[in-house]
Structure 1
């Protein structure tokens, strides 16, 4: 077969594919695309029609489609052309459905989908949550949150509950007033090649939240968010969906005012069999955080081949520049805002589950703090391995250090403590092998040891390179 004939066959096959997929252009269903008219009804009509036969709902360029809430459905490819935009309406009265069922104090649903299959979002256009429209005044480090009575109207951008075979690829999605992509009880999900940009000053503006979901693959994404960039969790409002498991995240770049990669803190079930590989974290207040505050467990997690850069921000944001953070403390109770919807029904206090079998390998950390492992009792954290993890610590901001952030916990949220390369406080079986600790030129007096350990059963250190911040007066490793 000649090259010319092969090319002709390929073009013909592509043409047949394009012809066989029915296109539902939202403008043909009445959408104006003028950036002023609420096009939600027209977009919903196109989605409803497409779902019957299967096909593509086209969001055409160069138009901006202002919309209130609408629902996506099965057998639909929502295709947003380059130069096209779906923009959330700033009218708060339009947002009436809680993102967390009976818990109405944590945002609403803008683009939603329930029990859908074979749904995708594609194209190089934009989904814009219009987040700043829902904020109060801008301050130095954050926007003020507007007061509300019962329902917080801030919309989550995309909420899919009970989805199967979900694909989100290539789009630009963000500027969210609350969480951006929330996957609840989903199975078989691929998120690839997206750009997700939220304001670093918008609180609660998570990037991707994987909640009670299974078999999720996230790859080749660029994410900036005020809150967590990627978070795995098990919220109590959706407990019927079971464990969060079989999750892979690869080739992503992230920046957060809080924690770039977080597991927890909401976890009432099990989070297990998770791999993060080939990721870069830039200028984040916390790099990787496993933050268990409920009775659920976290197990069998690998972090590998990563670069983590941390810097201190203000107490508005969670974290104290820890590049790696593992904590297990029961959740705060009483009148704390987290308590009402976080504890089991009828309970007034909670418990905390185990964290075990966590591996860090080939990780480069730079910033204003070291790796931190801490629990309310040493049996809560077991079998933590650091292999070829390098830590470089230097004071680079004016924000106060010498602190660790254990919020939200029953004990004190902020704990004073020395800044050490690796700080272990209550754990069983911790291993450091082929690790290193170095210090920069700016060394306040709370910079201390290469390794500091308290109340740890079986700490094994092999081939540690480095010394304390002040080797003339402090030992390299301090054990208590």
Structure 2
């Protein structure tokens, strides 16, 4: 009898221990619920921790990202997949995306770019550039990269992507780079792209670079880099069609938005323009560059750009067109309205003498860019040093410039001659201070000549869906 009692007590103790361990294991499984708006929702989801990810800021997660994305790629034709990055600091080198895929960052997740050069593969120069921007040879693969993809989303609850760019900037200034610095995100030859609700810090070079792609939504980004940092452009749509950039805040060491389409003879030969671009509700701070730049690499052409509700603060120029002899291509049908500027060097700036050639000795001097149909209206600026410098090209003037309903208040130490114009043709209406004589004043009755196009571009018909997820992860 005593033996049976002892056995019963032992069995009860064992059952209690097993139950306790099971409860403890269950408690370690975290159930995370969240929702967001996206081009497409996904049928499958996993966490980076499921693939060995460690968010301590020191452990490399490059293999974890590669393994996770490789595994989830099997669901591309089965409703797509999402990779969830939890709170933590996730050190990683470059990794590539897949189609029908979402990368989602928790609000307290930080992706840290590795400073181990072995984690940055080198790839060929872009065909429309013919060489790297920093060096003639190839370029380091961007931090988040992808090519020939469909339906790709990088988003989050304002999670952070930190390029730790000081390492790269120092290499650049000391001329130690054999290849061009990486960008934070570059997607090539891809369709249906969304990049939204994230913070980008300290990019090695450009931040967001969609290239040779279409149907792109870039929304709700905060992009910050130190003002002295080299070439840290915010968003650079490059040879892209049907793109929407909206609700972004950018502090940059270069242009906040730079519209591009290839460089000199390489861009001319490649012949892939940027067109049907919408930029709205952009706030920019860039004391050394422009809120919106068109060029200078525009050899494939730039057409039908619509910018509205733009705020530039302590920025070198509001809208700048950059090109030169030998660049070829065109910039035409550009529309800007409702722009507010505070403390600027230039409100408007165009130059046909930008230089910066892909090959200083082989560009074609007969390849003249065509600049026409540039429209600015409903602009207010204060504390401005120069209202405008508009410099066309001799024997190839910039034409069809239209400026209406613009009030520019000059700074106390402003240039005595607020407008400088050479080799340009156009009209103005209701502009203060009085523009140069080559911009004919048509009077207030002609103010509608700079109207914004009423037609809706296809990208504004692309709507986001509400996606809701539950993720269980350790």
Spell out the pairing of 1:110-189 with structure 2 (5 A cutoff). 110-124=143-157, 125-136=159-170, 145-148=173-176, 150-152=178-180, 154-189=181-216
Match of 2:467 in 1: none
Match of 2:351 in 1: 327
Specify the structure having the higher radius of gyration (Cα): 2
Deviations 1:45-69 (A, max 9, x none): 11122222021111111x1110111
Q: In 2, distance between residues paired with 1:149 and 1:65?
A: 26
Q: In 1, distance between residues paired with 2:363 and 2:256?
A: 31
Match of 1:317 in 2: none
> Which of 39, 42, 45 is residue 61 of structure 2 equivalent to?
39
> Which of 37, 43, 57 is residue 83 of structure 2 equivalent to?
57
Q: In 2, distance between residues paired with 1:37 and 1:130?
A: 16
Q: How many residues align?
A: 389
Match of 1:384 in 2: 401
Match of 2:342 in 1: 309
Deviations 1:261-287 (A, max 9, x none): 100111112100110001101100122
Q: In 2, distance between residues paired with 1:304 and 1:57?
A: 39
How far off is 1:348 after superposition?
5.9
Q: In 2, distance between residues paired with 1:88 and 1:223?
A: 20
The answer on whether the counterparts of 1:328 and 1:354 sit within 8 Å (CA) in structure 2 is no
Q: In 1, distance between residues paired with 2:109 and 2:90?
A: 8
How far off is 1:92 after superposition?
3.3
> Which of 128, 131, 146 is residue 103 of structure 1 equivalent to?
131
How far off is 1:240 after superposition?
3.6
Match of 2:458 in 1: none
Q: In 2, distance between residues paired with 1:378 and 1:322?
A: 25
Q: Does 1:242 align with 2:275?
A: no
The answer on whether the counterparts of 2:262 and 2:297 sit within 8 Å (CA) in structure 1 is yes
Q: Could you say if the C-alpha distance between residues 377 and 45 of structure 1 is closer, same or farther in structure 2, counting changes exceeding 3 Å?
A: same
Spell out the pairing of 1:169-318 with structure 2 (5 A cutoff). 169-236=196-263, 240=270, 242-256=272-286, 257-293=288-324, 294-311=327-344
* Structure 2 gap segments, 5+ residues each: 1-32, 446-474
How far off is 1:149 after superposition?
5.1
Q: Could you say if the C-alpha distance between residues 435 and 259 of structure 1 is closer, same or farther in structure 2, counting changes exceeding 3 Å?
A: same
Q: In 1, distance between residues paired with 2:163 and 2:177?
A: 22
Spell out the pairing of 1:64-103 with structure 2 (5 A cutoff). 64-98=89-123, 100-101=125-126, 103=131
Q: In 2, distance between residues paired with 1:460 and 1:66?
A: 58
Q: TM-score, normalised by structure 1?
A: 0.75
Match of 2:12 in 1: none
Secondary structure of the 2:166 match is helix
How far off is 1:133 after superposition?
2.6
Name the Cα RMSD after superposition.
Answer: 2.7
Secondary structure of the 1:136 match is helix
Deviations 1:193-244 (A, max 9, x none): 1111122110100000010000000111111111010011111456646111
- Between 372-381 and 46-55, the greater mean CA deviation after superposition: 372-381
> Which of 436, 456, 460 is residue 432 of structure 2 equivalent to?
436
The answer on whether the counterparts of 2:42 and 2:82 sit within 8 Å (CA) in structure 1 is no
How far off is 1:342 after superposition?
7.8
Secondary structure of the 2:65 match is helix
How far off is 1:136 after superposition?
2.7
Match of 2:373 in 1: 357
Q: In 1, distance between residues paired with 2:95 and 2:51?
A: 14
Secondary structure of the 2:184 match is strand
